[in-house]
Chains A and B, each alone.
Chain A
Amino acid sequence: MTQNLLAKKVALALEDFSVYRGSYKAVSNANMSFTDGELVALIGRNGAGKSSILLAISGLTRFTGKMFIGKRDCNHGHHQPGVGYVPQRADLRWDLPLRAIDVVITGMSKEIHLTGFRKKELRRKLALQALADVDASHLADRILSSLSGGQAQRVLIARSLVSKPEILLLDEPLSGLDQPSADKVMQVLRQRAQEGTLIIAAMHELDVVNEAFTRAILLANNIVSDGKPTQILSELYGNNFANVNSLS
């Protein structure tokens, strides 16, 4: 737990939290609690349960146990308002003939209108605002297939920001990015955290976790250790982990 726990309000609490993928129990009876503005990295090998936890919090897979978002008891296991989810970039259809801003606008597609045109201007304005928040206003009219990995990642983050989430979950946001792109994405995440959003990301880049995150949780189907990144990584690699880029 961080030392800020008493000062800040709890944004998300998981109690006796188990996540199932099919019949496989990917996360087993975990207890975690997070406060506003934390920048948390979930680390561990592939299959350790990082993605499963994110999917369960965002309502995309089944869990048992208890989950509280703020004071709300969220045990129904589907769409969770207030939670923004940014999936792995590779799984999406970047070949579709759309512009970046169209993708951001899909973040507001929960309500449907017969003509599809109601509030069109408002949606565009909100989407542009979200793109500005991730320093990507200039990408608004770019075709998806022309975006670089880092640009695409920021567009996906913007798509989650349009719903003004209190909790932002990201699945390997830096995978496949070069250093400048990764820096830019981390800058965006730090900014959001400073503004009070709880950010939880599944991460493989331990050097970034060490430098930029406020807390790290090491998973192997349940919680192995939880604390300051420096402390967790020292336990794992001694004081020499800076040279290690990936656990897997």
Chain B
Amino acid sequence: MMALNWFIEPFQYEFMRNALLISVIAGVVAPITGYWAVTRRMVYLTDAMSHSVLPGIILAAMAGISLMAGALLTALVLALIVTVMVVYGQSTEDGAVGAVSQAFFALGIILSSRSSDSRSLTHILFGNALSASISETLTILAAGVVVVLIISFLKEQLIAVSFDRNHAAAIGVNVLRVDALLMLSLAGTTVIGLGSVGVLMTISLSVVPALATRILGLHMLKARYMAVGIGVSASIIGVFASYHLGIPVGPSVALSCTLLLGISYFIRLFQIRLPKTVMTLDGVTS
């Protein structure tokens, strides 16, 4: 009975039910886009996007428009500037990302110091899953559905472009469209993070599950499902830990991701056999 209570108790409160729901949405969507960020070596860009949304959010708050729209727009502007710098400006990708995202972040800090609502900064970066409204939850859900649809739609082309961009272009895949839609999805994921576990903590939910599947030696087509499984598990564990230990939801979910990554290393180290339904690459964990 005690044990059952441990699971049931948090959900007497509506804000906890809501927190679980939006954390699970983030736990589904972030690993799906994150898998491609890791595969395409775009983790730094993803991280930069999450920092760069700050000025957009504060300006949106000042203008009285949707914070999520402000965030999405800023993330896309970052991606656009980085792309232009790389394609036309002789910049390396990580150099451009580093330069531009820090400028955005600095601008955000300055705007934030001028803004009347200074507590928002912590909420933006580390999440405010407990205070999400119904309309925010619905927006997050809608954004999540769009992002998952885009990535599913592009699956085969993402594999083709990841393996060999030139050949994909040669057979007529529109590689610029694939890249643009992936960037849009990554920006969308950042926005989902904004309303749930926080833009910074979303990085953990994006990157860690993908990394864990590589450690487990999973084939790409199955790895994406496993990544979602890990993301959702981390969200659930994080929300429970948050309630019972009295810690913030976002960091709690992020650390749960790390815990699951540790378990993946453990499984690999001791060569624990995964169930047959989880297809590995001929049992080769590399």
Main secondary structure of the interface of B (DSSP, over half): helix
A142 at the B interface (CB under 8 A):
yes
Measured in the bound complex, the distance between the Cα atoms of B157 and A175 in whole Å is 28
If A97-B219, A112-B157, A114-B152 touch, whether A143 touches B170 (CB-CB below 8 Å) is: no
Give the chain B neighbours of A112 by CB distance below 8 A: 153-154, 156-157
Give residues 168-183 of A contacting B (CB, 8 Å): none
Measured in the bound complex, the distance between the Cα atoms of B159 and A113 in whole Å is 14
Give residues 254-286 of B contacting A (CB, 8 Å): 281-282, 284, 286
B164 at the A interface (CB under 8 A):
yes
Q: Is the CB of B159 within 8 A of A98?
A: yes
B223 at the A interface (CB under 8 A):
yes
Distance (whole angstroms) from the CB of B146 to the closest CB of chain A: 13
B17 at the A interface (CB under 8 A):
no
A87 at the B interface (CB under 8 A):
yes
A146 at the B interface (CB under 8 A):
yes
B interface bracket (residues with beta carbon within 8 Å of A): 20 to 34
Q: Is the CB of B164 within 8 A of A87?
A: yes
- Give the contacting residue for B155; candidates A92, A116, A146; CB below 8 A: A116
Give residues 129-184 of A contacting B (CB, 8 Å): 141-143, 145-146, 159-160, 163
Binding-face segment, A77-85, A199-207, A221-229, A233-241: A77-85
Give the chain A neighbours of B154 by CB distance below 8 A: 112
- Give the contacting residue for B171; candidates A91, A102, A107, A141; CB below 8 A: A107
Give residues 156-185 of B contacting A (CB, 8 Å): 156-157, 159-160, 162-164, 166-173
- Give the contacting residue for A60; candidates B160, B169, B286; CB below 8 A: B169
Q: Is the CB of B281 within 8 A of A143?
A: yes
Question: A residues within 8 Å of B by Cβ?
Answer: 55, 58-60, 78-81, 83, 85, 87, 91-93, 96-99, 102-103, 105-107, 109-110, 112-116, 141-143, 145-146, 159-160, 163
Give me 6 other A-B pairs in contact (C-beta within 8 A), A97-B214, A113-B153, A114-B153 excluded. A93-B162, A97-B281, A106-B163, A106-B167, A116-B152, A143-B286
